[in-house]
Amino acid sequence: MLPGIGVFGTGNVVKVVVPFLREKGFKIEAIWGRALKEAQDVAKELEIPFFTNKIDDVLLRKDVDLIFIICSPNLHSQISVKALGIGKHVLCDKPAGLCQSEALKMVRASQYYPSLISIVNHSLRFLPAFTQMRKAIMDGFLGNEEEITVCDVRVQMGSLLHDYYDWLCDDTMGGGVLTLVGSHVIDLVSHLLSQRAVRVHGVVRTFIKTTKEINGIRHISSPDFCTFQMEMNKGALVTVTLNNHLPGMFNQEVIICGKGGHLVVRGGDLYRYKAGSSKEEVMYLDVEDLQKYGSINPIAANVIPRPYMKGLFKMMGALREAFLPVEDKRGWIKEPVASAATFEDGLYVQAVIDALRKSSANREWIKVEQILEG
């Protein structure tokens, strides 16, 4: 039997996630919003029976066994730790908290309750092009681990902001391209290469500090551009550019080079180039229509890039499989979500983000140091 779900958040992602979960057989029992009116409006739109602006009102409901945290990052750690402590499974949006100390609390809670599912929404891991790319790397297409040389990632897109001031405008609350897109990229690169960053050098900038709609006393502090390098523990060098200055467009390209050739994912398509050949070959083309996943809110669909949306659907499909009965044993198993990002992965990502912020401030290479106590 699939668990009842409690949702924290009222944004566009929620308006995509809830219909999909419902079509997959999940019951959405409750929703939380920062303001009661906000929660009420979304509950009415999505036909969710219970709404509130109090965290415990959702967590303590007996018909809720799985928590979806899709709200501002400053609440991720608090809700995750509470939910695990009372026996609820958790899927938390990225990033895992605002800093390493918050992410560490999440890790400890997940370790204390290992029988519960606790994963971070780094959905690109589930995008078919990247699952195929990882398999090709593990099968040695680029050579052995030490022969992987360069990974180059470029993400170009429009602004992440709304037409009003909210947490997305505030760097201290987790807004900005580094946390919201960079966290995906940092996790994805580590997942694909099976390597982790040891040193980083980055430039993080906020170029647009006011807009026509957002001006006056409060200015935008969340970064809209960053570029950084990561030296990985097995020798690969990673370069990343994240740009929010191209309205109306989304372009994402991930290239990984090695002695055997290179692999590249453009959007949702995977290509390969074998050393010595004359041209790239198609390995996987993303021709799957998103409508196969059911009705999608058109406004939300314009906000969430297709690769991220498709990866999210794939991840939620795996989550559903985890709760299906196995043979005669009722309950759930973790295998379908074994490739999902754990809270430990979230802590690593946060360590890299902390190092990048320090690097940008000090204008120097910074060692990635993961805290063990806090």
**pLDDT of 225-264, one tens digit each?**
999 999 999 999 999 999 999 998 999 999 999 999 999 9
Residue 323 domain flag: yes
Tell whether 355 and 262 lie within a shared domain. Answer: yes
**Cα 13 to Cα 10: distance, rounded to the nearest angstrom:** 8
Residue 329 has pLDDT above 50, yes or no: no
Domain that includes residue 62, residue range? 4-124+294-342
Structure tokens at 374: 């806090």
Residue 373 domain flag: no
> What is the tally of structural domains in the chain?
2
Which residue from 356, 55, 16, 8 is spatially nearest to 204, judged by alpha carbons? 356
- What mean pLDDT comes out for the span 77-87? 97
What pLDDT score was predicted for residue 157? Answer: 96
**Cα 369 to Cα 374: distance, rounded to the nearest angstrom:** 13
Name 276's Cβ contacts closer than 8 Å, sequence gap at least 6: none
DSSP-derived letter for residue 143 is -
Structure tokens at 201: 């050098």
Residue 374 domain flag: no
Tell whether 224 and 277 lie within a shared domain. Answer: yes
Which one has a higher pLDDT value, 328 or 369?
Answer: 369
What pLDDT score was predicted for residue 122? Answer: 97
Structure tokens at 265: 């994912």
User: pLDDT digits over 140-182, tens only?
Assistant: 999 998 899 999 999 999 999 999 999 999 999 999 999 999 9
Residue 283 domain flag: yes
State the DSSP string of 239-262.
Answer: EEEEE---TT-EEEEEEEEETTEE
> What CATH code is carried by the domain that includes residue 137?
3.30.360.10
Residue 22 domain flag: yes
* pLDDT range class, residue 371, cuts 50, 70, 90: confident
User: pLDDT digits over 265-306, tens only?
Assistant: 999 999 999 998 889 999 999 887 666 655 666 666 667 888
**Cα 105 to Cα 271: distance, rounded to the nearest angstrom:** 40
Tell whether 29 and 71 lie within a shared domain. Answer: yes
* pLDDT range class, residue 332, cuts 50, 70, 90: low
Residue 217, judged by CB atoms within 10 A of its CB (0-12, 13-18, 19+), counts as: exposed
Tell whether 35 and 94 lie within a shared domain. Answer: yes
Residue 313 domain flag: yes
Tell whether 98 and 142 lie within a shared domain. Answer: no
Percentage of the residues of the chain whose pLDDT score is greater than 70: 93
User: pLDDT digits over 102-120, tens only?
Assistant: 999 999 999 998 889 999 9
* pLDDT range class, residue 374, cuts 50, 70, 90: low
Tell whether 182 and 235 lie within a shared domain. Answer: yes
**Cα 236 to Cα 44: distance, rounded to the nearest angstrom:** 50
Tell whether 178 and 253 lie within a shared domain. Answer: yes
3-state SS class at 263: strand
Containing 93, the helix (H) or strand (E) segment is strand 89-93
Tell whether 207 and 356 lie within a shared domain. Answer: yes
What pLDDT score was predicted for residue 328? Answer: 42
Tell whether 142 and 249 lie within a shared domain. Answer: yes
Tell whether 266 and 220 lie within a shared domain. Answer: yes
Instruction: Say if CB 149 and CB 237 are below 8 A apart.
Output: yes
Residue 372 domain flag: no
What pLDDT score was predicted for residue 226? Answer: 98
> What CATH code is carried by the domain that includes residue 20?
3.40.50.720
Phi-psi region of 294 (alpha: psi -120 to 50; beta: other; left: phi over 0): left
**Cα 81 to Cα 172: distance, rounded to the nearest angstrom:** 21
Residue 10 domain flag: yes
Tell whether 208 and 357 lie within a shared domain. Answer: yes
Tell whether 9 and 74 lie within a shared domain. Answer: yes
